[in-house]
Amino acid sequence: MTHSKLSRSLVIFASAALIAAAPLMSFAKDGNNGGRADVGGNGQAWGHQVAPGWFMNWFNWFNHNGTTTRPTPPNTDHPKPTPPGIDRHQYHPCRNDGDEDGDTDDMRNCMPSPTPTPTPSPTTSPTPTPTPAPSALVVSNINAQVIGQTEALITWNTNNSANSTVWYSTSTPVATTTAASVTSATDVYNHSVLLTGLSASTTYYFIIGSTDAFGNVGTSAEATFMTTAAPFTNPLAITNALAMVGSTGVTLTWTTNEAADSEAYYSTVSPVVIGASSTTPVTNSSLITSHSLSVTGLATSTTYYMFIQSKDAANNTQSTSQFSFTTGS
């Protein structure tokens, strides 16, 4: 037998002896590798005790004088079989042994196991929340604000956002199919509609209505407002004034272009001043257009100074010029 064959036989024999002796070895923890067993002399076996009587390793004989180095581990995770019930993959010889003797494992043939990429959980779209059915459309807080002689602002509220319409007329009942109307298509809760081009001193009847996005309709009962009276474009005028003089009295007649009261002021002193002690008033508060006043108790054969005056409901006042007359004897 040649020298090389004899050496290989001795190595195989020594390996078998180590495996057979594994159940009797005592181990000490050695970093990430399982343990170390003294097998006599300068030899040591390195590996993992994975179960009683089972020693998973690659081995070497280490000479404490440092002349012998551990051989490169085989390119396999499992140089020895594992016992039944033991997961082969939890024992890996390709780790730095981290022991106190200063040597390191040869990592050239060891590749780290790839970290598996986690499978992402499927994403599901959230179930949309159904829109709740709207409540019935309710109209409230109706108000009509008259603005001068020709405008009015109509306001109201609704419990749902809705559009705005006002139907209005000078006659009642208001027919929404034929009456004049103003509409705003904007959906709001607080409604405001301005009516313009109205007639002064006129009563108007109106109905409001709103429709929301769901088709709910809310309407009001008929309501009214009256525009302000227009200012008089023509001043109060007095015409056809006459004085029928007697011995102790005088009858006065005149007309006005609008309803007004009747007043006469007279005195024996000129000028006649309203409120003066020498001035006597004679009045009728009825608002009329054809006026007549009788002044009695005058002295005979006496000259009197007088003027007549009328005042309408808006306190517009018109008077004649002062005139004089002499009673009979």
What is the tens place of the pLDDT at every residue in 247-293?
999 999 999 999 999 999 999 999 999 999 999 999 999 999 999 99
pLDDT value of residue 127: 76
pLDDT value of residue 119: 81
pLDDT at 92 over 70: no
User: Is the full-model pTM beyond 0.85?
Assistant: no
* Highest-pLDDT range among 13-17, 96-100, 109-113, 167-171: 167-171
* Dist. CA 39–CA 59, nearest whole Å: 11
Q: Which two tokens stand for residue 208?
A: 């409001």
